[in-house]
Each structure stands twice: as structure tokens, then as C-alpha cells.
């Protein structure tokens, strides 16, 4: 039979990245396309130990229904860490445990946006967020970025010209897909603009713990005295992405509404792994563990950048991230990214096309995203070699 889908979801397409992910079953393909943490970063032995302890100490709690807002001791541990480490948990704020950072984004859009409202985003930006906004019937409006983050003049213009703007979606630190980090001044300015025009900010910070150079810049949420910022993060990039445990930190009144929506979404997040995360926050040296991940990514990003510096023509520009998982490359006008990416796939190198990350008003982005956390060193060297060869051949 022919199905009639809802107006909001009928136009939705699967995320190109998830689809690429599915097609990467060919073991010969080198993937710079993932957004995955390195498997080397998973603390397997400790997680096994903590899991055994939970089976031993409190299996009936861990396997039973729990509270929608999350496992209370984990919420408290997150509050303490996020507060002391990033200054993001104020007195009026509440922690809600979510099924990965993605759920925090989806629920925030659901709670604040009506069909036809506009969500203003950095462009390019995270496809998972764009599709979440679209699934709620929102329009996504892209604002260009400078090296130090969103162009705030363009942001104000976008706010002024948007239809029912409600939410500004930002990934200020090690942005996906560009790897760029927004300066402290611009963070302040974004908050001022949100206040001036009565918008909420959704601050997505999945990579904030992964800084391997430069100095820390406080999250926008830490500058927010009135509850205008909803802060989303997760344990995906520091413990395990497959377990799907994240959190939202926001004003208690907004948190209550997010919680009601989470209740009808999945009742609560996997309780066993909430308890695992709680043990990692309270019975484990998480900072030392994160330090090791940073060292790993510092090394891998340096390797990829050194390879790019050595092998790519100067006409190709790319970002030099201070942390996170991604490098973004812009091709010169005379090179067509679509044709290049197609040829890369033929030679078994996968990258993510720039147009994956554009908003509803976006034009073509002649670039692509590369990831250095998942491929092995050998794959990084070989992959950049393939990339350089294709670009050089096409540049002739």
C-alpha cells in the first residue's frame, strides 16, 4: 500500500553520514567520514569491572524502570563536574540525562519550536541537528562562519530577517564539521543577540573535553545568568558512544518541559549505563582518562595535518583544530568537490561532502569534512595520499 506520511516527516531523508556509515562494510575503504571516537579511547576493562559491580550490588535497580529525568546520583555527579569544570550548572539549573546528546537537541527543538519557526545555525553545521529541526517542521537558516566562529554581524542580520526565529543552535567548541572554536567575545555577543531578540540558544558541546591545544574558552552557558541557554553534552566522546548517555543542563522550568517530552519519547535512558557512567564519575580518574584521549587525538590530528601540509597543493585550505574530531577542507573554485568526492570513493577513500551540512537557505559548499579519530595512522597516511593524488590530477 502507499503510505501518507506526516507533513513534517515526509520530506526527510536519511542523514548522508549514517548512510555512508552503513556502506562502509567494504574493509578496503578508508573512512575519513565517521564522527566516531577512536575505539582505543574506550575504557573497556574498567567498564567491565563497573558493570560486574552493578550486577553484583544492585541488579534489580539497574534492570527496572527508572525516573525519566535520570539516575539521581548520576545527575548530581554531572552537576558537580559540569559546574566545576565548565561553570555551566547554576542554582536554577537542572540536569536531565538523555539518550545521547542527539536526544537533547531533538527535545529542545520539540519544546521550544512550532512548525514554521526558524532555527538559526552556523553553516556548515551538524546534520543530525538540522534533521531534528526539520522533523519538527522548522526552517533552518545558516549563518556563515569566520575562523573564530559564527559571523555575529551575519547572525544579527539572519535573526532580523528570519520568519519566527526561536532558537540559535551553536556548537561553539571544535565545531562539527569545521573543527573551529568560537572566541569568548563572539560567545558573549551571541548571548547578547539572543537576549536582544528574545531567542533561546541551544549550545551543543559534545567535544568540549577534547582540547589538545590552545586555552579553554568557557561555554556560552557559563555566561548565562537568566536561563536563556540550553546546554547539551554527552559521554559519547569520552567513554562510549554506543551506550547513548548524554545530558541537558538548563533552567529548571525548561527542564520540566523537556522531561515531560522525554517521558513520551523513551520513558528514560538505559539505566544500567547511567549507573556505569556514575561509577566513572565517582570511582575513576576520569581526568587522566580524558588526558589520554586528548594525547591520542593530538597525535592523530597532527599526523593528518602534517600529511595534508606535505601532500596537498596550497590552493586547498583546511582548518587546524585545537581539539575535537574534525578537519574541514575548502577546495579552490576550479575544483568541483562533487567530482573529487566521487573519485575518492572510487579509489576507496570516504569523506563527507560539504553540502551534507547546509541549512535550508544554504548554497553549495565546495568542501568536505575529514575525521582523524577513527582511521589508523597507516590509513591516515594512505588516505591523504589518495586525496592528494586525486586533487593534483584534477588540478592539472
91 lines the binding site for its own copies (CB under 8 A): no
Q: Which stretch binds its own copies (CB under 8 A): 81-89, 155-163, 253-261, 345-353?
A: 253-261
Q: Which stretch binds its own copies (CB under 8 A): 109-117, 309-317, 339-347, 375-383?
A: 109-117
151 lines the binding site for its own copies (CB under 8 A): no
Which of 189, 228, 294, 369 touches its own copies by CB under 8 A? 228
Q: Between the CA of residue 34 and those of 188, 221, 389, what are the distances in Å? A: 32, 28, 22
Sheet of strand 229-234, all strands in order from the earlier edge strand to the far edge: 93-98, 246-251, 229-234, 200-204, 165-170, 118-123, 139-146, 149-150
Footprint (CB under 8 A) of its own copies, residues 267-286:
267-273
Q: Which is nearer to its own copies, 181 or 240 (CB)?
A: 240
d(CA 13, CA 150): 27
Nearest distance from C-beta of residue 14 to its own copies, angstroms: 5
Which of 75, 89, 97, 102 touches its own copies by CB under 8 A? 102
Residue with cell 522525554: 262
Which of 73, 83, 218, 227 touches its own copies by CB under 8 A? 227
Check residue 140 and give left, alpha or beta (phi > 0: left; psi -120 to 50: alpha): beta
> Distance of alpha carbon 158 from its chain centroid, rounded?
22
Sheet of strand 367-371, all strands in order from the earlier edge strand to the far edge: 317-318, 326-330, 367-371, 352-353
Q: Which is nearer to its own copies, 261 or 302 (CB)?
A: 261
Footprint (CB under 8 A) of its own copies, residues 294-313:
none
d(CA 117, CA 135): 12
What value, to the nearest 5°, has the Cα angle with vertex 293 and ends 288 and 295? 95
The sign of the torsion formed by the CA atoms of 250, 237, 175, 268 equals negative
Q: What is the DSSP string of 138-173?
A: -EEEEEEEETTEE-HHHHHHHHHHSSSEEEEEE--S
Query: Contacts with its own copies: how many residues (CB under 8 A)?
Result: 85
d(CA 241, CA 235): 7
Binding mask 159-198 for its own copies (x = CB under 8 A): ----------------------------------------
12 lines the binding site for its own copies (CB under 8 A): yes
Q: Which stretch binds its own copies (CB under 8 A): 30-38, 157-165, 314-322, 348-356?
A: 30-38
Nearest distance from C-beta of residue 12 to its own copies, angstroms: 5
Residue with cell 575503504: 29
111 lines the binding site for its own copies (CB under 8 A): yes
Q: Which is nearer to its own copies, 137 or 218 (CB)?
A: 137
Which of 70, 124, 128, 177 touches its own copies by CB under 8 A? 128
Nearest distance from C-beta of residue 133 to its own copies, angstroms: 9
Cell numbers that stand for 177 in this block: 564539521
Footprint (CB under 8 A) of its own copies, residues 351-380:
none
Which of 32, 86, 112, 231 touches its own copies by CB under 8 A? 112
Which of 20, 31, 32, 66 touches its own copies by CB under 8 A? 66
d(CA 345, CA 19): 14
Tell me if 187 sits within 8 A of 173, measured CB to CB: no
Nearest distance from C-beta of residue 178 to its own copies, angstroms: 20
Residue with cell 582505543: 40
Length of the chain: 396
340 lines the binding site for its own copies (CB under 8 A): no
218 lines the binding site for its own copies (CB under 8 A): no
7 lines the binding site for its own copies (CB under 8 A): yes
The pairing of beta strand 139-146 with beta strand 149-150: antiparallel
Q: Which stretch binds its own copies (CB under 8 A): 49-57, 278-286, 325-333, 338-346?
A: 49-57
Amino acid at each position: 500500500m502507499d503510505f501518507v506520511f506526516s507533513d513534517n516527516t515526509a520530506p526527510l531523508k536519511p542523514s548522508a553520514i549514517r548512510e555512508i556509515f552503513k556502506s562502509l562494510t567494504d574493509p578496503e575503504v578508508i573512512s575519513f567520514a565517521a564522527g566516531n571516537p577512536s575505539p582505543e579511547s574506550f575504557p573497556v576493562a574498567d567498564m567491565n569491572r563497573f558493570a560486574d559491580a552493578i550486577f553484583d550490588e544492585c541488579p534489580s535497580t539497574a534492570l527496572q524502570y527508572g525516573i525519566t529525568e535520570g539516575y539521581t546520583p548520576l545527575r548530581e555527579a554531572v552537576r558537580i563536574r559540569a559546574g566545576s569544570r565548565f561553570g555551566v550548572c547554576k542554582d536554577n539549573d537542572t540536569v536531565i540525562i538523555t539518550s545521547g546528546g542527539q536526544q537533547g537537541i531533538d527535545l529542545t527543538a520539540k519544546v521550544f519550536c512550532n512548525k514554521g519557526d526558524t532555527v538559526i545555525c552556523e553553516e556548515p553545521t551538524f546534520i543530525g541537528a538540522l534533521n531534528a529541526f526539520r522533523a519538527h517542521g522548522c526552517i533552518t537558516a545558516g549563518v556563515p562562519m569566520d575562523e573564530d566562529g559564527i559571523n555575529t554581524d551575519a547572525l544579527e542580520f539572519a535573526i532580523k530577517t528570519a520568519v519566527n526565529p526561536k532558537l540559535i543552535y551553536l556548537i561553539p567548541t571544535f565545531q562539527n564539521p569545521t573543527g573551529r572554536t568560537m572566541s569568548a567575545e563572539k560567545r558573549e555577543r551571541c548571548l547578547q543577540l539572543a537576549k536582544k531578540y528574545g531567542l533561546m540558544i541551544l549550545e551543543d558541546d559534545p567535544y568540549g573535553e577534547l582540547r589538545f591545544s590552545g586555552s579553554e574558552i568557557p561555554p556560552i552557558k557559563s555566561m548565562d545568568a537568566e536561563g536563556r541557554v540550553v546546554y547539551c553534552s554527552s559521554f559519547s566522546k569520552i567513554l562510549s558512544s554506543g551506550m547513548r548517555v548524554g545530558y541537558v543542563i538548563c533552567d529548571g522550568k525548561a527542564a520540566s518541559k523537556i522531561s515531560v517530552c522525554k517521558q513520551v519519547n523513551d520513558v528514560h535512558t538505559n539505566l544500567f549505563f547511567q549507573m556505569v557512567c556514575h561509577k566513572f564519575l565517582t570511582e575513576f580518574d576520569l581526568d587522566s582518562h580524558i588526558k589520554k584521549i586528548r594525547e591520542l587525538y593530538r597525535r592523530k590530528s597532527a599526523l593528518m595535518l602534517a600529511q595534508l601540509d606535505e601532500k596537498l597543493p596550497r590552493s586547498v585550505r583546511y582548518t587546524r583544530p585545537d581539539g575535537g574530531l574534525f578537519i574541514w577542507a575548502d577546495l579552490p573554485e576550479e575544483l568541483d568537490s562533487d567530482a573529487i568526492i566521487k573519485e575518492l570513493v572510487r579509489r576507496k577513500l570516504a569523506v563527507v561532502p560539504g553540502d551534507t551540512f547546509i541549512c535550508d537557505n544554504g548554497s553549495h559548499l565546495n568542501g568536505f569534512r575529514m575525521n582523524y579519530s577513527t582511521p589508523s595512522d597507516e590509513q591516515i597516511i594512505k588516505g591523504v595520499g589518495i586525496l592528494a593524488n586525486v586533487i593534483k590530477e584534477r588540478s592539472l
